[in-house]
Amino acid sequence: MSVGNTTSEHTNHPPRPRCVLITGATGAIGGALARVYATPETHLVLHGRQQQALLALAEECRAAGASVTLSSIKLTDDAELKQWLTTLCTEHIPDIVIANAGKNTHPQADSMLEPWNEVEALLDINLKTPIAMAQHLVPAMQARGSGQLVFISSLAGWYGLPTAPSYSASKAGIKAYGEGLRGLLAPHGIGVTVVMPGYVTSPMCNAMPGPKPWEWSPERAARVIARGISANRARVSFPFPLNFGTWWLAVLPAGVSQWLVKRLGFNHTGGE
């Protein structure tokens, strides 16, 4: 009897594809990340609310060799979110989860503050949904002993911008949550990366008031983010000049930071 041949029959199985879940896949960064991860070794789970764009992205990723599953559930409905992620984990626990779905709002000329219904919707998708996703996914990742959670913050998370106070608050919140979670989950083999992009060309970016220095393409941003995820970096922030400047806004005396923000043109909301 050949023990070696018997062992070979049971071990020479093709490796299972890694599973990468991306929410907000029909956005600029989400779509670019899907294309970066679209390889024959990857099963992509893509979530998006724009049906035609999502279907087109799926075909593009399949043409690159990836297998693709699509979803358009309402992420802010916790019961629907839990059911989706629970079902997903029974089939294939994601190896990488990129909680990329998000939105922005800004103060309006006629009322000064941001519309409250828009603020609530923003906090639901930018902050509560990524935290809820972690709640539903971490137990399965912990049982397996591996996984990578990726939270999309922003350089606006360093210092609140008058042009987007609620957006800044949501991004500061998810930054703090991701940083805390990284230390909590590291002993269980689960990595956490917080991504803090600057301005990345997209409809959402174009709609934001104020200057947009050092704007990057989604493709460039996606390559940098993917490298950071692969290295399990605690933080991926870019571009360097804007990251350095916004970091200083967080550490300088508040009066100095507020003066600088106004001088740089970020106080203008269209109502002045």
Angle, vertex CA 125, rays to CA 122 and CA 131, nearest 5: 130
Query: pLDDT tens-digit profile of 57-70?
Result: 999 999 999 999 99
pLDDT of residue 14: 62
Q: 81 pLDDT exceeds 70? A: yes
In order of their start, the domains of the chain are: 16-263 (3.40.50.720)
What mean pLDDT do residues 220-243 have?
96
Taking the CA atoms of the chain, what radius of gyration do you get in angstroms?
20
One-letter amino acid at 28 equals A
Confidence of residue 272 (pLDDT cuts 50, 70, 90): very low
One-letter amino acid at 52 equals Q
195: Cβ–Cβ under 8 A, 6 or more apart, which residues?
150, 151, 152, 153, 225, 228, 235, 236, 237
Query: pLDDT tens-digit profile of 200-212?
Result: 997 776 666 666 7
- Secondary-structure breakdown of the chain: helix, strand, coil percentages, each rounded to the nearest 5: 50, 15, 35
Q: 8 pLDDT exceeds 70? A: no
Q: 151 pLDDT exceeds 70? A: yes
Query: pLDDT tens-digit profile of 96-122?
Result: 999 999 999 988 776 688 999 999 999
Q: 53 pLDDT exceeds 70? A: yes
Query: pLDDT tens-digit profile of 10-51?
Result: 445 567 889 999 999 999 999 999 999 999 999 999 999 999
pLDDT of residue 16: 80
pLDDT of residue 243: 85
| Structure token digits, residue 59 | 């075909």
pLDDT of residue 13: 58
Q: 4 pLDDT exceeds 70? A: no
Most confident residue range from 5-9, 160-164, 216-220: 216-220
Separation of alpha carbons 56 and 97, rounded Å: 21
Separation of alpha carbons 194 and 104, rounded Å: 18
Q: 6 pLDDT exceeds 60? A: no
Q: How many residues does the chain have?
A: 272
pLDDT of residue 101: 97
- Tell me how crowded residue 250 is: count the other CB atoms within 10 A of its CB: 13
